Amino acid sequence: MALLTTGKGFVRALEKSGALGVYAPLEGGFEGRYQRRLRTNGYESLSLTARGLGDVSAYLMGVHGVRPPHLGKKNIGQNAAVGPIYFVPPIAAYQLESLSRQSKGLVLWILEGYILSKAELEYLVTLPQQEPRIKVVVELGGERYFRWEALEKLIEVA
């Protein structure tokens, strides 16, 4: 287990490709080390889980509607029986607006990325091309050691 890693190769690979697929040991701990390396290199990170994302493009970059759980109560009148829709600002776009001027950009670190479809992963590959200040890291599974590869290459193989 490499306790002293500089993470320079990881940061360079992320800056070059824009989106990385990561395989990390199931014991954990490595993710935090590499997120610290990103912070020391001028990036801010946002950790998300892939479960419950829904429409990835709308959740990250567009205003989207959310219905809270109705808890068995029904509305009488004009609203739908499942309750009102609340509109939520886009998570990544909102974080980009609040970045400091010294920051290089925002890294979206997505946990449990193995449940995402191929189309959703393709969107995550194109997201850094649409918005250059966003970088994406998707955890795709477990491995005996921490390794990464460009997400675009991993999608081609699958």
CATH number of the domain enclosing 29: 3.40.50
pLDDT at residue number 78 = 61
Is residue 52 one of the residues assigned to a domain? yes
The segments of the chain whose pLDDT lies below 70 read 1-5, 70-83, 158
Is residue 2 one of the residues assigned to a domain? no
Residue ranges making up the domain that contains 45: 8-70+79-157
Is residue 103 one of the residues assigned to a domain? yes
Q: Is the dihedral of CA 111, 138, 99, 131 positive or negative?
A: negative
- 83-87: long-range contacts, CB 8 A cutoff, minimum separation 24: 87/63
Element (H, E) at 44: strand 43-49
Q: Chain centroid to CA 96: how far?
A: 13
Q: Tell me how far apart the alpha carbons of residues 130 and 139 are, in angstroms, rounded to a whole number.
A: 21
pLDDT at residue number 28 = 80
DSSP, collapsed to helix, strand or coil, labels residue 21 as strand
C-alpha triplet 87, 59, 12: angle, nearest 5°: 145
Name the token pair of 63: 């205003």
Pairing between β-strand 86-88 and β-strand 147-150 as defined by DSSP bridges: unpaired
Q: How many structural domains are present in the chain? A: 1
Is residue 3 one of the residues assigned to a domain? no
pLDDT at residue number 1 = 47
Is residue 1 one of the residues assigned to a domain? no
**Mean pLDDT, all residues of the chain:** 86
pLDDT at residue number 12 = 93
pLDDT at residue number 73 = 63
Is residue 34 one of the residues assigned to a domain? yes
Is residue 126 one of the residues assigned to a domain? yes
Are 48 and 35 in contact, with CB atoms under 8 Å apart? no
